[in-house]
Amino acid sequence: EPEVTQTPSHQVTQMGQEVILRCVPISNHLYFYWYRQILGQKVEFLVSFYNNEISEKSEIFDDQFSVERPDGSNFTLKIRSTKLEDSAMYFCASSVQGTSGETQYFGPGTRLLVL
Partner 1 sequence: TQLLEQSPQFLSIQEGENLTVYCNSSSVFSSLQWYRQEPGEGPVLLVTVVTGGEVKKLKRLTFQFGDARKDSSLHITAAQPGDTGLYLCAGIRPQNSGNTPLVFGKGTRLSVIA
| Interacting residue ranges for partner 1, rule: CB under 8 A | 4, 6, 31, 33, 35, 41-45, 48-50, 55-56, 58, 89, 91, 93, 97-109, 111
The single-letter DSSP state of residue 99 is S
Strand-strand pairing, 44-50 and 19-24: unpaired
CB of 6 to partner 1, least distance (A): 8
CB of 16 to partner 1, least distance (A): 26
**DSSP of 29-91:** --EEEEEEE-TTS--EEEEEEETTEEEEE-TT--TTEEEE--SSS-EEEEESS--GGG-EEEE
In Å, how far are 10, 15, 16, 22 from 92, measured between CA atoms? 14, 23, 23, 9
CB of 110 to partner 1, least distance (A): 10
CB of 69 to partner 1, least distance (A): 14
Query: Nearer to partner 1 by C-beta: 87 or 104?
Result: 104
Query: Nearer to partner 1 by C-beta: 48 or 82?
Result: 48
Query: Nearer to partner 1 by C-beta: 82 or 104?
Result: 104
Query: Nearer to partner 1 by C-beta: 28 or 41?
Result: 41
The single-letter DSSP state of residue 27 is T
